[in-house]
């Protein structure tokens, strides 16, 4: 029996180690520098192999408009926001954040690009909205229960 429990403890410890995203944050500075260099090299290689003449003649940022810069900043800030959600939120909040982001993207697309909303989009929006509302009610009820328990423990102490 002891052998089985030892093997289980080793397996559960190793699975916790490898599924944690905190290991990424513990990467050393040379590792981060190598990743940045590889990303830049691959990005520049793609640009220069596809549009080498245009880049040499007009420059790397030729054709960038205000909207283009806004989109680049939007993607960068979205990446940071997603990393914060992935680090600090539980799984259901991650799913809801992704769903709400898709809904907001669809709604913004109506105004920016003339996207036509379909019945499936409307039904999906309804289901996600109701589920987020129900989840928030449950979270609020749990919070109230915890606060009530803390108050009763303070009164009894």
pTM over the 0.75 mark: no
At 8 the pLDDT is 42
The pLDDT confidence band at residue 37, using thresholds 50, 70 and 90, is confident
pLDDT at 44 over 80: no
Q: What is the chain's mean pLDDT, rounded? A: 75
Cα separation of 47 and 59, whole Å? 11
Residue with more model confidence, 8 or 75 = 75
Q: Quote the tokens at residue 151.
A: 């108050």
Calpha distance 93→130 (Å, rounded): 14
């Amino acid at each position: 029996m002891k052998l089985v429990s030892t093997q289980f403890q080793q397996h559960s410890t190793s699975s916790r180690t490898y599924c944690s995203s905190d290991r990424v944050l513990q990467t050393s500075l040379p590792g981060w520098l190598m990743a940045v260099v590889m990303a830049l090299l691959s990005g520049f290689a793609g640009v220069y192999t596809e549009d080498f003449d245009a880049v040499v003649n007009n420059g790397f940022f030729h054709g960038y408009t205000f909207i283009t810069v806004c989109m680049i900043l939007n993607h960068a800030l979205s990446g940071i926001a997603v990393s914060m959600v992935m680090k600090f939120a539980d799984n259901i909040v991650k799913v809801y954040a992704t769903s709400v982001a898709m809904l907001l993207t669809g709604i913004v697309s109506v105004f920016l690009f003339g996207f036509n909303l379909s019945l499936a989009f409307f039904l999906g929006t309804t289901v996600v909205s109701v589920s987020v509302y129900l989840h928030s009610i449950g979270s609020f009820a749990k919070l109230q229960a915890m606060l009530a328990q803390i108050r009763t423990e303070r009164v009894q102490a």
